[in-house]
Structure formats: C-alpha cells, structure tokens
Structure 1
Amino acid sequence: MNLIIEGKIDPSFLTTHRIGFEAGPAAYRTFRDKEDGCVKVVIRPNG
C-alpha cells in the first residue's frame, strides 16, 4: 500500500472494466467467467 501511496507503482492497469451500477449483474458475470480479458471491474454508482 505504501508504494501506491508514494506513487512508486500504479495499480490502475489491474482495472480492466469500468461500468455503471445498472450494468452490475452483467459485469459480475464477465468477471466471474473471466470474459473479455476481465481482471477487475469498477462499478460506479452514477455510471
């Protein structure tokens, strides 16, 4: 965590998908089934 805080590493490459809340169920299936190269999904409440 300290390396991230200090700016020595950038973990943003781990987030492969960013979606709105309404697409949550589909995004979960994509993550669960590792479709479309999915590593990590960020669900935003306001899209």
Structure 2
Amino acid sequence: MLERRRSDSQPGFGVVKLGWVTRNQHEEIAVQMETSIWVQVRPENTAPTAA
C-alpha cells in the first residue's frame, strides 16, 4: 500500500493506492505497476478481526 485517503465527497468510501514490482532472475525490474482502488471504509473504532 502506497497511500490511502478518505473521499471528501463520499464519507463512507476512500481510495487506496497499491504498487507492485516484479523482478527477473537478475534482480532487474521487469514490471512496475501502481493502481488505485475505491473501497468502503470500516466504521470508526472498529478493529479488524482474524478470519
């Protein structure tokens, strides 16, 4: 996860920016990608639970 922020216009949602790097057998970067996803946020004071 590169960054996260709550939406100003839609309080129950936010944007999370994710990044991936794939390296080849010589440890050189072969693929580098960043994407942003729209997610629903957890209510305040709610801790994640183990599955």
Place the TM-score, normalised by the shorter chain, in its bin. Answer: under 0.3
Greater relative CO (CA pairs within 8 A, separation 6+) = 1
Q: Give the alignment's TM-score, normalised by structure 1.
A: 0.23
Larger Cα-atom Rg: 2
Which is helix-richer, 1 or 2? Answer: 1
Which is strand-richer, 1 or 2? Answer: 2
